[in-house]
Structure 1
Amino acid sequence: MSRFKFLTSLFLILCSQATWAADTTPSTPPPPSELKQARALIEKKDWAGAADVLGSFTRSNPSNADGFNLLGYSLRHLKRYDDALAAYKKALTLDPKHRGAHEYIGEAYIELGQLDKAKQHLDALDKICTFSCEEYRDLKKAYEMASKAKNN
């Protein structure tokens, strides 16, 4: 099969799957109101308020990786790195392919000067994101800037 025919066939298959997917309803339920509230607090950079909401949320929803990821994000902005790392690690235990948790824990490690650990999460994102993704690009940019700064 010629390369052109192969690529055309692949394109048609992908388009037909996208059309089929557009006719389905999402299987993921909307986020709980506490996560919406926490995201609003994060948007306002109210890290302590978000951490309080998310701490309560994760205690009552101990299997919600998004909650732990956002908790880690809020705690990192409060410079509570040990607690932030613990929250990110919990998110990744619940969902090893959680792109946001990989990005944010990588950024935390960069802030702590632990570029080798940040690189591990960058590599994980490279595998998770088949054709790149925003989380990979953001962490890669932060990693490269930190590496450059360290070498100068």
Structure 2
Amino acid sequence: MMRRIASATFLGVLIAGSSLYVANGAAWQKAITGWLGTSAETTLAAETWPICTSMTELGSESDWAQLDPDFAAGKRALAAENWDEAIRALSLAVLRDPFNADIQNYIGYAHYRLRQLGPAMGHYQQALTFNPRHRGARTHLGELFLALGEPRKAQDQLAALKEICLISCDEIAYLEHAIDTGTWRPALPE
């Protein structure tokens, strides 16, 4: 009986709130943001957040990257091929955003370029745990499998990319070329 009363009360509040929102959306939004202690000017719409960034955008400064100076510094270090500094800066950024697949992918890439294959693998896999559709992490993991002499696993990453990219994308073309020619960056020591 008490559950029914609580459910009916909750449903009533929900309906009343939605009616108020529809009737006067702007005033309702101001009331909610005031109650939560935020302002509408400082909140970012989810549509403005990037799903993932590609390695070709390393030197560019997007609005999102400017929100975290360590993330931006890490991307600049990657563009300058300063792998140790990239790892340092991105490791600070990951403390504030531990579930960011882009940061994990970038840290993995820097480790890969330093020929630290174990940590690189871990970061790529972590990126794919957070975002299984992350094209950069799939490409870099395929590249890492080629470096480890496991072309079948690289093919698996290519197949996953083909499911992700409904039309051809740069990541597919790059990984296909790397698999076909047996060349990838960087050349690993013998």
Q: What is aligned with 2:111?
A: 75
Contact 2:158–2:172, Cα closer than 8 Å, also in 1: yes
Give per-residue Cα distances to partners, 1:24-78, cap 9 Å, x unaligned. 9942171232222111111111011101111222233211100000000000001
CA distance in 2, matches of 1:97, 1:25: 18
**Residue 113 of structure 1: SS of its match in structure 2?**
coil
For normalisation by structure 1, the TM-score amounts to: 0.76
Q: Counterpart in 2 of 1:131?
A: 167
Distance 1:25 1:74 in 2: 28
Runs of 4+ in 1 over 3 A off after TM superposition: none
| Corresponding residue for residue 122 of structure 2 | 86
Which one is further off, 114-123 or 67-76?
114-123
SS where residue 160 of structure 2 aligns? helix
Of 101, 119, 129, which aligns to 2:137?
101
Unaligned runs of 5+ in 2: 1-44, 50-62, 184-190
C-alpha RMSD over aligned residues: 1.9
Q: Select 1:30's aligned residue among 54, 64, 76.
A: 64
Task: Looking at secondary structure, tell me which structure has more helix per residue.
Answer: 1
Report the number of matched residues.
Answer: 124
- Give 1:86 shift: 0.3
The aligned amino acid for 1:95 is: N
Q: Distance in 1 between matches of 2:178 and 2:166?
A: 20
TM-score, with length taken from structure 2: 0.61
When Rg is computed on C-alpha atoms for both structures, the one with the higher figure is: 2
Q: Which residue of 152, 158, 168 maps to 1:122?
A: 158
For 2:69 and 2:161, locate their aligned partners in 1 and report how far apart those are by CA, in whole Å.
29
Name structure 1 gaps, 5 residues minimum: 1-23, 148-152
